[in-house]
Structure 1
Amino acid sequence: MIIWEKPRLPAPKQLEKQMRILAALDLIMCEEDWLRVHRYDSTWSDDETMGSLNNGSGDVVFVVFAPEGAVIKGFDHESPYSPHAQEEYGTWPGIYNEVPEALLHRIQDVAFTHEDVTFCIWRENGDSAWHTSEYEQPEGWENGADFLLGYLCDSPESYQEWAQDYFEEKLELAAVRAVFEGAEITQELIASLNPQRDAEEALEELEELGLLKLS
């Protein structure tokens, strides 16, 4: 296995917090779940939480946070590593070879479409870096990681820029910053982010997904 260096990723706890913040903001900005890019489920299983990205174009990232660590499975449908790009449908050889069994098991749920993968990254508890398997990577081939992990906005400014383009709505930076800084999500804060959103409905969904407390 080799150390994952690009794009850089925060430690699992910080990454989980980041994904929770982004999921909460998307939920507030968009009533329809299927149109949201960032999602998070605090009750994915008895001992797992799960964050995901879905750009609506067939590209998906799943991140499972478990007692053993965290594992990321990404799929770029246009990547030459896609099983759909092979002469014989199948996962590109070696992508999963060195993933620790305890973490590999976490992404074998049918909901993750295990075979649809173009990159896989993991970090076990106690590790100081993220890792990926060592396998043949033809020159010039892209696995989609730079593109898809770029959706993980890491600042209020980057989320504001992305969301204003995606949702086609102006977004108050101070309100976005408040969510990033762990402010209590109230009806007033929801209204400042998205005046058209049903605040009570948003609060109920935030509570169901474990997103009311982000600090």
Structure 2
Amino acid sequence: MPSIDALQRRIQQMAAITALFAVEYGEPRFAFYPKWAGGTQVGAIKNGSGDELFCHFTSAGCFIKGFAHESSMTPYRHNPPKLWPGLLDGVPSAFEKSLKEPAFDIPATTFVIWQLANGSEWLTGRIDLSDDEYKDGSADLLEPLSFTHIEFTDWLEENYEVEVDGSIVESVFNNRPLSEEEMLTLNHSQPLRVLRDAVRETGYSIE
């Protein structure tokens, strides 16, 4: 796992790029909300099949909530649903607002990870994971956060069935502002104003 700052940058970078395609192909898998409630920020990953990951960036640090529907640790193994024993044990009180955020749907959770702003490592509750290989599904949902620019370029091409200029993806992964030319290169079928608005919503820099 990267540092909190690096994680925030990477999700925002991926959200900015996918936003350019989402204006034409629907809801992006990667999203970033720079002006969430209470001066916080949120990064999100959704796969369209019900799995989701939320990263809540606050003054307290970063709280990550994930749900993998194929995990045997799903709350829906019970009727009524019930969180895996001990899943939320140990979550610092500093993340109380994260646990109460309706958009995160905490009752539908298979894993939580957090790091305090003054901490140096990511932590989880002390729980016994399921015995199967898939466990809580965190490995799958967190995997994209370690993509290189080449891997993310490949993912974009496969997901949107288009050719993608990897040098632009590399530039964004180096946190350089997106130029108008680069935006139009990635999606030349949409008006520039539409592309600018899509990227602007993620808070990513535009030249």
Q: Determine if the TM-score, normalized by the shorter chain, exceeds 0.5.
A: yes
Residue aligned with 2:112, SS = strand
Structure 1: which 5+ runs fail to align?
A: 1-8
> Where do residues 30-41 of structure 1 align in structure 2 (5 Å cutoff)?
30-32=22-24, 34-41=26-33
Residue aligned with 1:205, SS = helix
Does the Cα contact within 8 Å between 2:179 and 2:206 map onto a contact in 1?
no
Identity of counterpart residues, as a percentage?
Answer: 25
Query: Quick one: which amino acid aligns to residue 168 of structure 2?
Result: A
Residue aligned with 1:39, SS = strand
Does the Cα contact within 8 Å between 2:65 and 2:111 map onto a contact in 1?
yes
> Where do residues 112-151 of structure 1 align in structure 2 (5 Å cutoff)?
112-140=104-132, 142-151=135-144
RMSD: 1.8
Partner residue, 2:165:
172
Q: How far has the Cα of 1:153 moved from its partner? A: 4.6
The 3 A distance-change label for structure 1 pair 153 and 26 is farther
TM-score normalised according to structure 1 size: 0.89
Matched, 1:45 2:37: yes
Which of 197, 204, 211 in structure 1 is aligned with 2:204? 211
Matched, 1:13 2:5: yes
Which of 63, 66, 78 in structure 2 is aligned with 1:74? 66
Cα distance in 2, alignment partners of residues 33 and 39 from structure 1: 14
Q: How many aligned residue pairs are there? A: 206
Cα distance in 1, alignment partners of residues 146 and 27 from structure 2: 17
Moved more, 24-33 or 35-44: 24-33
Query: Quick one: which amino acid aligns to residue 105 of structure 2?
Result: T
Q: How far has the Cα of 1:151 moved from its partner? A: 2.3
Structure 2: which 5+ runs fail to align?
A: none
Matched, 1:102 2:94: yes
Q: How far has the Cα of 1:156 moved from its partner? A: 1.1
TM-score normalised according to structure 2 size: 0.92
Q: How far has the Cα of 1:87 moved from its partner? A: 4.5
Q: How far has the Cα of 1:102 moved from its partner? A: 1.4
Cα distance in 1, alignment partners of residues 128 and 74 from structure 2: 14
